């Protein structure tokens, strides 16, 4: 009986880890600086989706954060998280009963059916039909209409609002209309584009279809345009748990405010307190193999699997496998949507590096790519050891950067070989990243220890330099003006972020190389703005306290619940 309970607890861990893949998101802060061409900001998937009864004209410009009546109509982001659902005592009791039935009978479809029954209703109104179309009237708020402006455009003055569920080609039609409207009302001939996370798939689709005739400069920030490993894993059931990866993720994830981190940390804390982690992970892998065949494909279809916009984050290498896994026994029902997915993969994703190279080298598009690293991916598979920003892996964000596995550095032999090949100036001073292998090594910046969903204001000023310039800005020739000074400073290829007491990531130290001497620049105790960064030890203590406060309550409830089960079965 004791082993049975431990097997159940291990299965809870498996579910918490696997379901954490449903928490991908991106948000943005409002920042304003002046540039010559209007800047259109295309954000990630953090766009509010409402039910058919929500009338945006009744509440113009308001959001669920400011009006509880609007929140009642909000479908996405979820108003009830998966963590809240699994914290419900009735739900927990149902899971225990289903688990025991499966364990006793060997029929793991019973357990899978119960998990599906709990999760499916949460996403029901968000699902699209077999053609990838909306049929229930759910929608986003109206596009923010451009306002006439004589110059001095801010980074987020023109935000393109879109339904992240829809096919990128469908959203790009609306983006093209929006660009034309911005050009009309401003009297300018071109715009600048910023794509962020999922928004980069729209920018890449737009440039693929329409070219760069109306785009002066495009910036790609924390990009999903080349695939996202976590989405590959979830859509192909490439899930395998490892205690070391889970522990590393909990201790080194820089973004501790997302549902995925919440689910994994809470479950892991509960198992650790009961001493079940070793046997637990082994059992979790065993139980998951038995349950997943009855659960994962239909769970993907019930959540993000009918959203062409999210299929745009499936890499070319995983696409055919994901398509077969998710739609294997129901391809006819989803034939219309599969046609859209195939079109995106063929015309955009599979050829994006070549397309972008042509746009830059032959058509004159100016670009900048910003990638992040040193924050681990969710511990879903053996691929989670890649260097990443906690959500997207560095290799795909940067279009090809070489890096040591997360938590390690290049070996001395590797460094000697790279420097002998003349790659020294492209190596990060922490010996983790080699930018020389990027598609555009001179146009790619790297931000260390900056969470995926953070947008530092120092980088915004670099954006302004890039947008103001009449020539291509590189990691070697850029100059930005300090916020409180007329002095200019150089932003090197590699910078490292630190948060202040309010969690704002605008303090930076230099970890790159001097382009004139190719010598490493050591930390002088001040950031690029001349500010003394927060004390690392103090920040680490605050982060640890934040984690403890955030997850202790949920973990204690899980432990209490498990204790009652153990007492019920007289397990010691």
- The candidate with the shortest Cα–Cα distance to 551, out of 315, 279, 228, 272, is 272
CA distances from 526 to 178, 496, 504 (A): 42, 12, 16
Q: What CA–CA distance (Å, rounded) separates 420 from 305?
A: 47
| pLDDT tens digits for range 308-357 | 999 999 999 999 999 999 999 899 999 999 999 999 999 999 999 999 99
**Contact partners, residue 287, CB within 8 Å, separation at least 6:** 7, 10, 11, 14, 108
| pLDDT tens digits for range 216-268 | 999 999 999 999 998 999 999 998 878 778 778 777 765 555 556 655 666 66
Q: What CA–CA distance (Å, rounded) separates 387 from 364?
A: 31
3-state secondary structure of 526: coil
pTM for the predicted model, two decimal places: 0.86
Question: Which residues, listed in sequence order, are joined to residue 160 by a DSSP beta bridge?
Answer: 42
What's the burial of 431, exposed, middle or buried (CB within 10 Å: 0-12/13-18/19+)?
middle
Q: What CA–CA distance (Å, rounded) separates 170 from 308?
A: 10
CA distances from 503 to 174, 251, 255, 420, 450 (A): 35, 18, 11, 41, 11
Cα angle, residue 433 at apex, residues 430 and 436 outer, rounded to 5°:
130
The whole-number pLDDT of residue 288 equals 87
Polymer length in residues for the chain: 572
The whole-number pLDDT of residue 133 equals 97
Q: State the pairing for strand pair 49-50/74-76.
A: antiparallel
Given a cut of 70, the residues of the chain with pLDDT beneath it are 1-35, 46, 56-68, 142-144, 149-151, 253-280, 481-487, 500-572
| pLDDT tens digits for range 382-421 | 788 899 998 999 999 999 999 999 989 999 999 999 999 9
- The candidate with the shortest Cα–Cα distance to 228, out of 164, 317, 144, 110, is 317
- The candidate with the shortest Cα–Cα distance to 260, out of 550, 562, 561, is 550
- The candidate with the shortest Cα–Cα distance to 430, out of 451, 414, 448, 450, is 448
The whole-number pLDDT of residue 423 equals 94
* Structure token pair of residue 416: 């000697």
337, containing H or E segment = helix 335-347
The whole-number pLDDT of residue 19 equals 59
Question: Which residues, listed in sequence order, are joined to residue 159 by a DSSP beta bridge?
Answer: 41
Task: Classify residue 548 by its DSSP letter.
Answer: H
160, containing H or E segment = strand 158-160
Q: What CA–CA distance (Å, rounded) separates 196 from 194?
A: 7
For residues 507-536, one letter each, b for 16 or more C-beta atoms within 10 angstroms of the residue's C-beta and e for the rest, the string is bbbbbbbeeeeeeeeeeeeebbbebebeee
Question: Which residues, listed in sequence order, are joined to residue 509 by a DSSP beta bridge?
Answer: 496
Q: What CA–CA distance (Å, rounded) separates 342 from 338?
A: 6
DSSP string, 41-93: EE--S---EE-TT--TTTSTT--TTT-HHHHTTEEES-SS-HHHHHT-HHHHH
For residues 234 and 380, the answer to whether their CB atoms sit within 8 Å is: yes
Question: Which residues, listed in sequence order, are joined to residue 219 by a DSSP beta bridge?
Answer: 194, 368
């Amino acid at each position: 009986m004791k082993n049975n309970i431990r097997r159940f607890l291990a299965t809870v861990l498996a579910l918490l880890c696997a379901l954490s893949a449903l928490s991908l998101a991106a948000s943005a802060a409002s920042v304003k600086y002046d540039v010559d061409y209007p800047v259109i900001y295309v954000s990630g998937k953090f766009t509010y989706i409402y039910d058919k009864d929500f009338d945006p004209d009744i509440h113009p410009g308001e959001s669920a954060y400011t009006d509880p009546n609007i929140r009642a109509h909000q479908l996405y982001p979820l108003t009830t998280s998966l963590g809240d659902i699994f914290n419900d005592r009735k739900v927990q009791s149902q899971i225990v009963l289903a688990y025991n039935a499966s364990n006793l009978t060997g029929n793991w479809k019973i357990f899978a059916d119960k998990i599906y029954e709990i999760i499916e209703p949460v996403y029901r109104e968000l699902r699209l039909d077999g053609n990838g179309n909306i049929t229930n009237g759910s929608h986003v708020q109206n596009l923010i209409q451009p306002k006439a402006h004589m110059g001095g455009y801010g980074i987020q003055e023109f935000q393109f609002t879109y339904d992240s569920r829809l096919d990128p080609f469908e959203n790009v039609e609306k983006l093209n209309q929006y660009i034309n409207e911005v050009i009309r009302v401003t009297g300018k001939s071109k715009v600048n584009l910023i794509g962020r996370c999922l928004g980069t798939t729209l920018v890449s689709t737009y440039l693929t279809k329409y070219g760069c005739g109306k785009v002066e400069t495009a910036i790609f920030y924390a990009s999903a345009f080349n695939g996202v490993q976590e989405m590959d894993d979830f859509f192909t059931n490439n899930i395998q748990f490892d205690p070391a990866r889970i522990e590393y993720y909990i201790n080194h994830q820089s973004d501790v405010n997302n549902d995925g981190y919440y689910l994994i940390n809470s479950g892991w804390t509960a198992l650790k307190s009961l001493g079940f982690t070793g046997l637990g992970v082994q059992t979790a892998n065993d139980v998951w193999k038995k349950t997943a065949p009855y659960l994962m494909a239909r769970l993907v279809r019930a959540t993000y699997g009918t959203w062409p916009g999210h299929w745009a984050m499936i890499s070319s290498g995983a696409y055919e496998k994901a398509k077969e896994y998710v739609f294997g026994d129901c391809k006819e029902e989803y034939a219309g949507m599969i046609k859209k997915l195939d079109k995106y993969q063929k015309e955009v994703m599979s050829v994006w590096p070549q397309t972008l190279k042509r746009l830059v080298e032959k058509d004159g598009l100016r670009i900048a790519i910003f990638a992040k690293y040193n924050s681990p991916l969710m511990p879903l598979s053996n691929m989670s050891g890649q260097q990443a920003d906690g959500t997207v892996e560095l290799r795909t964000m940067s279009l090809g950067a070489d890096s040591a596995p997360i938590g390690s550095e290049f070996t001395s032999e590797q460094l000697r070989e790279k420097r002998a090949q003349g790659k020294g100036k492209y190596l990060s001073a922490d010996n983790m990243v080699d930018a020389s292998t990027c598609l555009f090594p001179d146009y790619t910046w790297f931000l260390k220890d900056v969470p995926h969903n953070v947008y530092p204001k120092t980088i915004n000023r670099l954006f302004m330099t890039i947008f103001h310039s009449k020539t291509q800005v590189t990691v070697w020739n850029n100059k930005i003006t300090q916020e409180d000074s007329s002095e200019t400073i150089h932003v090197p290829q590699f910078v490292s972020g630190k948060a202040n007491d309010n969690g704002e990531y605008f303090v930076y130290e230099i970890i790159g190389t001097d382009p004139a001497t190719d010598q490493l620049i050591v930390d002088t105790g001040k950031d690029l703005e001349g500010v003394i960064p927060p004390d690392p030890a103090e920040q680490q203590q605050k982060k640890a306290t934040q984690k403890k406060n955030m997850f202790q309550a949920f973990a204690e409830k899980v432990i209490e619940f498990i204790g009652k089960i153990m007492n019920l079965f007289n397990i010691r």
